[in-house]
Amino acid sequence: MIASRPASPVVDGLRRRDVRTLSLSALGGALEFYDFVVFVFFAIPLSHLFFPPATPAWLAQLQVYGIFAAGYLARPLGGIVMAHYGDTLGRKRMFMLSVFLMAVPTLAIGLLPVYARIGMLAPLLLLLLRVMQGIAVGGEVPGAWVFVAEHVPPQRVGFACASLTSGLTVGILIGSLVAAAINRGMTPAQVLDYGWRLPFLIGGVFGFLAVWLRRWLSETPVFEAMHARKELVSGLPLRQVFARHLPAVLRSMLVTWMLTAAIMVVILMTPSLLQSVFRIEPARAFLGNNIASFALAIGCICYGLLADRIGYAQALLVGAIGLLLATYALYLDLQAGATHFIVLYALAGFSTGVSGVIPALMVVSFPPAVRFSGLSFSYNVAYALFGGLTPPLIGLLVKRMGVLAPAHYVALTACIGIGVAIFLMTTKRRARV
């Protein structure tokens, strides 16, 4: 349950300062998440530039996906450390630190020499910088959800978390737009020569802009109230999480698996799969991804509003079923020739908006004193495990099981989401404030 807050003139709506907090948090999150995900949109040119020329194309791309996955494997380290200090020293400090730690490696990737110049040191440095990005985003995402949830009235937590998640997905959209513009405005040779560097250099600037934006945010009222009443945890907050909240950890990890599959497969990996598996030209692939990413941002808001109205478990159930059906519709159409590819990709993107429900469900699963640590551990460990394995696993499954393998994987995780939703409803543990 979220701690009680000082009296407010607004009962059901959002106050002006709440709207400002949500807007600045979402914008800063969009800029930072762009830095983290733009890597995957340039997986194909990176696979050509950072590995020996004799490497088979499928193996080089698999290795790039492996480096991309390393960012997810590093997330628990940043998440656990930043969450500890977020629960003991304050949410805002970690909110500022995480975005700064993202800007530095993103800018460095844009300046990195390629294999032709420094040999095997190139992929090793790329891996190191990707790990640094993972450490930063490990503290950013759960910290942002806690930050916005503790700034708004309790009955608007679903909308608050969904608006932040929508902001993060706008970062994906920005990355997709940048990738589309580069692929449309440059020849393949120009992209390989210098075009691939531009999104990372832009991202570094975005990151420092996000640091500046967050100067205008204030500490959360919930943390300030705990500090004033001397209710902060002494010792390790994570120890209390393990001792008292393991069921909440398990539920949070399971729904994070669904979130991971939805975002990574439907939004992040599909553009590359469209080109390498379904032979769709890059410009059309990224057009579809732009539309799907925009639909995802809208879907997050819609599902967040739905969660505040009917409950998180019910909204999760509706969204998981929609995700399963929409993903199969998209990949079946791609298998049949991509006749309705754009429309179905938009529908799949909107259905992926069920991701907007999941952070609110996790936020209310932990008490305020250990909320950051509980959410961060659950989310980051699950994302490291499932997010780290998903890109290379999808690459192997497509090679062995055929073009519907990505849809089968998303459907499996959607079924898990359905199971969690039914469990919450039948046990009357509806995660409402």
Neighbours of 27 (CB within 10 A): 17
Residue 350 lies in a domain: yes
Give, in order, the Cα–Cα distances in Å from 208 to each of 36, 41, 392, 404.
14, 22, 31, 40
9 lies in a domain? no
Residue 136 has a pLDDT of 87
In-domain check, residue 431: no
Is 237 contained in some domain? yes
Q: What CATH number did the domain enclosing 136 receive?
A: 1.20.1250.20
Task: Name the residue among 325, 299, 93, 45 with its Cα closest to residue 191.
Answer: 45
Per-position DSSP letters for 330-391, written without gaps between them: HHHHHHTT-TTHHHHHHHHHHHGGGGGTHHHHHHTTS-GGGHHHHHHHHHHHHIIIIIHHHH
Predicted pLDDT of residue 430: 42
Residues of the chain with pLDDT under 70: 1-14, 428-433
Query: Residue 366: left if φ>0, alpha if ψ -120 to 50, beta else—which one?
Result: beta
Cα–Cα distance for residue pair 329/349, rounded to 1 Å: 12
| Distance from C-alpha of 23 to C-alpha of 174, rounded to nearest angstrom | 17
Cβ count near 402 (within 10 Å): 11
In a domain, 370, yes or no: yes
In a domain, 5, yes or no: no
Q: Where are the beta strands (DSSP E) in 219-378?
A: none
pLDDT, position 13: 61
Q: How many residues would you count in the chain? A: 433
DSSP one-letter code for 267 = I
**Helical segments of 11-156, H only:** 16-41, 43-49, 57-73, 75-88, 91-110, 115-118, 121-149
For residue 371, is it within any domain? yes
DSSP state of 3: P
Instruction: For residue 73, give its domain range.
Output: 16-426
Model confidence pTM above 0.85: no
Number of domains composing the chain? 1
Whether 271 is covered by a domain: the verdict is yes
